């Protein structure tokens, strides 16, 4: 071995014994390898030299995140609609509550900079549901001089888009007459409330309290709903309003330190989202028909169920329509709210049908935010060619941000009289017919 080679080996061995380069925290670190390794404090940054079994492996530049002072990550809370019961269903709730959940009552809340946290005990906070229809609200917690406080912000905080209804056509599709169409576009969802007459109040296809997709607009004249919203044999008397359902927040959310904050107010920690629906002035829902209350922390699995309890019904038109011509939540559709799109949901639909002629197809579909079949928003679909049979299908989907509805659809092809069986039919052969389900985390 030459003298030069010996010198190189000596220098290499010497450098392996040196500590790693000094990092910006002011200390040098040398890991021992293996499972024990070396733990570096948050905020450390610089260049690290590493080896692999004694052989030089190279260098890496790293920056380890610095957790804010006092941040424990504890958010033992939920947004709910029944006092003292953070996981209980509610119907026509007039108050929202933020209270302890998740095994404790501690919440770690930041200061205005978002960098210094204080852990505080949480007692249930009660807030009245705002008077109105079809508005979505975000709920936040903040530290108010050592006390946990709540605030709420509407998604359309810049002003709700709405208009007056002057008449509704008795047709399929239904056409709403209105002198104001400013702020809406084809494809938007609108809610309807306050119509006097059966076109509003009918328990199956009435427009009141329901949400619809806009198919077309004549500026400041009319709004045409999707084909399948059939108001034939109903009557419009007077009154009514439509309300645009927002699809995005005017005041957004900022993600920092593993949590969502209200944009422009880092001391406000995002807790969840709820919606005031069209059932009554200032009502909120969290039940198997309408899951319009969503939590960011301590979410749990909850189910949505739509079951038509009519014994049987017939349908002979070779075109898609809402199942049993019904758009009522819990019967023909379900509705739900999503504050952050993090979870995949599952859905299923099932039916039992019969007809006198062989060679006919029975079809069903569970469609998201539409009553039109075969679109990109379709969740599950199935069909078969036989005289009598049970039809079932299932699938998974990621919900869109904000409000959604899942509508059960049906169709016979070709056009022929077909009998459909409801959930209440006493025969075990039809058990589960006329049903659809959504499983998600709320």
CATH code, domain carrying 356: 2.60.120.40
Q: Do the domain assignments include residue 24?
A: yes
Q: What is the pLDDT of residue 135?
A: 98
Question: In the structure, what pLDDT confidence band is assigned to residue 429 with cuts at 50, 70 and 90?
Answer: low
Q: Do the domain assignments include residue 313?
A: yes
Are 58 and 90 contained in the same domain?
no
Helical (H) or strand (E) element with 8: helix 3-17
Rounded Cα gap, residues 262 and 38, in angstroms: 36
Are 280 and 390 contained in the same domain?
no
Q: In which region does residue 37 sit, left (phi positive, over 0), alpha (psi from -120 to 50) or beta (all else)?
A: left
Q: Among candidates 245, 253, 250, 287, which has minimal Cα distance to 140?
A: 253
Convert the pLDDT of each residue in 6-54 to its tens digit. 544 444 444 444 444 333 333 444 444 444 444 445 555 455 554 455 5
Q: What is the pLDDT of residue 432?
A: 78
**Domain, as residue range, for 308:** 302-441
Are 394 and 325 contained in the same domain?
yes
Q: Is the predicted pLDDT of residue 381 greater than 60, yes or no?
A: yes
Are 149 and 266 contained in the same domain?
yes
Convert the pLDDT of each residue in 133-148 to its tens digit. 999 999 999 999 999 9
Strand 402-413 and strand 333-338: the pairing is antiparallel
Average the pLDDT over 79-102 and give the result: 98
Helical (H) or strand (E) element with 55: strand 55-63
Helical (H) or strand (E) element with 146: none
Q: Do the domain assignments include residue 293?
A: no
Residue 321 in 3-state DSSP? strand
Q: Do the domain assignments include residue 83?
A: yes
Residue 200 in 3-state DSSP? helix
Convert the pLDDT of each residue in 320-335 to its tens digit. 899 999 999 999 999 9
Q: For the chain, give the mean pLDDT.
A: 86
For 132, list phi and psi in degrees, rounded to 5.
155, -175
Are 314 and 216 contained in the same domain?
no
Q: Do the domain assignments include residue 99?
A: yes
Residue 24 in 3-state DSSP? coil
Q: Do the domain assignments include residue 294?
A: no
Non-local (6+) Cβ contacts of 142 within 8 A are: 109, 148, 149, 150, 151, 265, 267, 268, 269
Q: What is the pLDDT of residue 24?
A: 36
Helical (H) or strand (E) element with 12: helix 3-17
Q: What is the pLDDT of residue 61?
A: 62
Q: What is the pLDDT of residue 30?
A: 45
Average the pLDDT over 170-198 and give the result: 97
331 neighbors 285 (Cβ within 8 angstroms): no
Q: What is the pLDDT of residue 257?
A: 87
Rounded Cα gap, residues 397 and 395, in angstroms: 7
Count of domains for the chain: 4
Cα–Cα distances (Å) from 53 to 21, 32, 205, 297, 376, in that order, read: 20, 11, 72, 43, 53
Question: In the structure, what pLDDT confidence band is assigned to residue 100 with cuts at 50, 70 and 90?
Answer: very high
Question: In the structure, what pLDDT confidence band is assigned to residue 122 with cuts at 50, 70 and 90?
Answer: very high
Are 111 and 205 contained in the same domain?
no
Convert the pLDDT of each residue in 226-281 to its tens digit. 999 999 999 999 999 999 999 999 999 999 988 999 999 999 999 999 999 999 99
Q: What is the pLDDT of residue 387?
A: 64
Q: Is the predicted pLDDT of residue 56 greater than 70, yes or no?
A: no
Q: Is the predicted pLDDT of residue 346 greater than 90, yes or no?
A: yes
Q: Do the domain assignments include residue 279?
A: yes
For the chain, how big is the Rg over CA atoms in Å?
Answer: 29
Q: Which region among 94-103, 210-219, 361-370 has the lowest average model confidence (pLDDT)?
A: 361-370
Are 352 and 432 contained in the same domain?
yes
Are 314 and 400 contained in the same domain?
yes
Q: How many CA atoms lie within 13 A of 431 on its CB side?
A: 3
Are 137 and 255 contained in the same domain?
yes
Are 232 and 274 contained in the same domain?
no
Are 277 and 350 contained in the same domain?
no
Q: Do the domain assignments include residue 386?
A: yes
Average the pLDDT over 74-82 and give the result: 96
Q: What is the pLDDT of residue 114?
A: 84
Are 261 and 137 contained in the same domain?
yes
């Amino acid at each position: 071995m030459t003298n030069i080679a010996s010198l190189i080996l000596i220098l290499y061995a010497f450098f392996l014994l040196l500590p790693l380069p000094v990092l910006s925290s002011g200390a040098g670190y040398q890991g021992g390898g293996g499972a024990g390794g070396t733990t570096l404090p948050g905020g450390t940054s610089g260049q690290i030299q590493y080896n692999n079994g004694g052989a030089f492996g190279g260098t890496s530049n790293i920056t380890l995140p610095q957790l804010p002072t006092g941040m424990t990550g504890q958010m033992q809370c939920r947004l709910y609609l029944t006092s003292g019961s953070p996981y209980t269903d509610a119907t026509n709730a007039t108050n929202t509550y933020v209270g302890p959940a998740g095994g404790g009552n501690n919440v770690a809340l930041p200061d205005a900079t978002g960098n210094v946290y204080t852990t505080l005990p949480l007692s249930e906070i009660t807030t009245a549901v705002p008077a109105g229809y079809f508005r979505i609200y975000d709920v936040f917690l903040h530290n108010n001089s050592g006390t946990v406080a709540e605030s709420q912000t509407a998604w359309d905080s810049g002003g709700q888009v709405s208009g007056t209804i002057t008449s509704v056509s008795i047709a399929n599709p239904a056409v709403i007459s209105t002198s104001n169409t400013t702020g809406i576009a084809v494809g938007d969802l609108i809610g309807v409330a306050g119509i006097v007459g059966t076109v509003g109040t009918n328990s199956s296809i009435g427009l009141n309290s329901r949400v619809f997709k806009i198919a077309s607009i004549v500026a400041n004249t009319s709004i045409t709903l999707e084909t399948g919203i059939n108001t034939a044999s109903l009557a419009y008397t007077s009154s009514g309003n439509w309300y645009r359902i927002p699809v995005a927040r005017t005041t957004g959310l900022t993600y920092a330190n593993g949590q969502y904050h209200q944009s422009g107010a880092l001391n406000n920690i995002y807790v969840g989202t709820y919606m005031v629906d069209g059932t009554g002035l200032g009502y909120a829902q969290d039940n198997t028909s309408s899951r319009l209350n969503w939590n960011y922390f301590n979410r749990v699995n909850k189910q949505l169920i739509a079951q038509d309890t009519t014994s049987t019904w017939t349908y002979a038109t070779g075109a898609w329509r809402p199942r049993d011509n019904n758009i009522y939540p819990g019967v023909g559709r379900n509705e739900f709210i999503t504050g952050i799109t993090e979870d995949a949901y599952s859905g299923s639909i099932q039916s039992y049908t019969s007809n006198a002629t062989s060679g006919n197809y029975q079809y069903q579909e569970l469609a998201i935010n539409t009553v039109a079949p075969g679109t990109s928003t379709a969740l599950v679909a199935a069909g078969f060619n036989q005289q009598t049979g049970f039809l079932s299908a299932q699938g998974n989907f990621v919900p869109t941000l904000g409000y959604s509805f899942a509508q059960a659809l049906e169709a016979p092809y070709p056009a022929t009289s077909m009998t459909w069986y409801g959930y209440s039919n006493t025969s075990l052969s039809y058990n589960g017919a006329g049903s659809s389900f959504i499983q998600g985390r709320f």
